[in-house]
Structure 1
Amino acid sequence: MQTILVTDDDQHVRYLVKELLMREGFKVIEAGNGAEALKMLHQHPCVLAIVDIMMPYMDGYTLTEEIRKTFDIPIVLLTAKSQIEDKEKGYLSGTDDYLVKPFEPKELLFRVNALLRRYGKAGELNIKIGSVLINKKSYEVEWNGKTFILPLKEFELLYYLASHPNQVFSRAQLIEQVWGIDYEGDERTVDVHIKRLRERFLKASDDFSIKTIRGIGYSLEVRK
């Protein structure tokens, strides 16, 4: 599931945009200001950022410039300002698109999907690691001439780790991404699912392995 960051100090706007994107199958994380947004980006890999201009602590122009220094993701600026000078400042700061409030929800979706296509991040349903093919559309894993249909959470956990190879995630991060932020169960459920995945793909170790990072969490290591 692709994750989009929505940054706006107006909680009502964040809620509306979040609901819109979630109905389209995106996962959404929220931030109320620029400083919080940067922290979230370092903790949660995102495919796109939607950024309001008028925010406390760090405005949208500055946040856009900071994102550009580290992350290669498309950015959409949201603003109540429609003057050409404001748009110019937005594009000079590094934004990919600019949408004036109030906007039509469908227009925001059109722009989001267009930017994801432009960045090559749209429709990333298949992940291939060596001889292992992970198909998000069919929720199947093909390997060694066989097709495996995994339990849903096992598949989503494998897909998420494979989407971010060699990156370390804590149990809490994996719970949030795979089970959802409202999950109230034990974090150790991650350990159980990791164990099952290791058992299933033990013989695929030439392609990848799921490493335990002591004191932190897990990482899917891709073999060169």
Structure 2
Amino acid sequence: MPSLLLVEDDAAIRTALQLALTRQGHQVATAASGEEALANYKSVRPDLIVLDVMLPGVDGFEVCRQIRRTEQLPIILLTARSDDIDVVVGLESGADDYVVKPVQPRVLDARIRAVLRRGERDTSDVAVYGDLTVDRSAMTVSKRGVPIPLTPTELKLVMELSRHAGQALSRQQLLRLVWEHDYLGDSRLVDACVQRLRAKVEDVPAEPTLIKTVRGVGYRLDPPRA
């Protein structure tokens, strides 16, 4: 049973979502503020955090940033608007996905399960890209022999790029493969995740040599070294 931490300051929404997600088969702990979430998430040890953006005091962005300093567990943001700066800031803070309020529990449940599937094992294969080693069987990525800590979404993204090495994948293809939805308006999910991934795997993220941008298309991981 997946364990969730739901962070929402509105008591009515928090109770309704907790009940709905419990009925969907999740174990749900709650927090009413960013401070409470930061104080308790390590003891709760959730598989995933559902995090409201607009929290009093420490907001959802800051909660996300602080958790990302030490943890790679998945985070889904709850945001009031899909087309404003909140989404971009949230993704740059390290969130894996977002859902727009008012939240439909079935949609949220589907997004949660999609994120959690990203850590599942892939086909048995090891590929080397310069100093980067991608082991799809062990679901690990290392650089010069040192493991790289990746969120489940970052890990799934590099696995899909590796599986299609040498092939340019569009943002819409990556949305389907990694996030399991393909609304093109969500392409910022891809761009933000690529940016975070480059920061971890590239020597000079601003001048990537591994994950290339294919102008007008999307992204490509160059073929593995022979």
2:39 corresponds in structure 1 to: 39
Matched, 1:85 2:60: no
By how many angstroms is 1:67 displaced? 1.3
User: Deviation per CA, 1:74-97, whole angstroms, max 9, x where unpaired?
Assistant: 111001123342211111011001
1:15 corresponds in structure 2 to: 15
The 3-state SS of whatever aligns with 2:36 is helix
Distance in 2 of aligned mates of 1:26 and 1:103:
16
The 3-state SS of whatever aligns with 2:29 is strand
The 3-state SS of whatever aligns with 1:86 is helix
Normalised by the length of structure 1, the TM-score is: 0.51
8 A contact 2:8–2:33 mirrored in 1? yes
4+ residue segments displaced more than 6 Å? none
Letter in 2 for 1:106: R
User: Deviation per CA, 1:42-85, whole angstroms, max 9, x where unpaired?
Assistant: 21111000000111120001111111112221111001123342
Letter in 1 for 2:113: N
8 A contact 2:80–2:102 mirrored in 1? yes
Letter in 2 for 1:39: A
Q: Gapped runs of 5+ residues in structure 1?
A: 122-224
1:30 corresponds in structure 2 to: 30
Distance in 2 of aligned mates of 1:107 and 1:32:
22
Q: Gapped runs of 5+ residues in structure 2?
A: 122-226
The 3-state SS of whatever aligns with 1:22 is helix
By how many angstroms is 1:23 displaced? 1.0
Which moved further from structure 2: 97-106 or 44-53?
A: 97-106
The 3-state SS of whatever aligns with 2:30 is strand
User: Deviation per CA, 1:159-199, whole angstroms, max 9, x where unpaired?
Assistant: xxxxxxxxxxxxxxxxxxxxxxxxxxxxxxxxxxxxxxxxx
Distance in 2 of aligned mates of 1:84 and 1:55:
17
Distance in 2 of aligned mates of 1:23 and 1:103:
15
Distance in 2 of aligned mates of 1:56 and 1:84:
19
Aligned length: 121
Larger Rg computed on CA atoms = 1
User: Which structure ranks higher in relative contact order (CA pairs < 8 Å, sequence separation ≥ 6)?
Assistant: 2
User: Deviation per CA, 1:91-121, whole angstroms, max 9, x where unpaired?
Assistant: 1011001111113221101100000001339
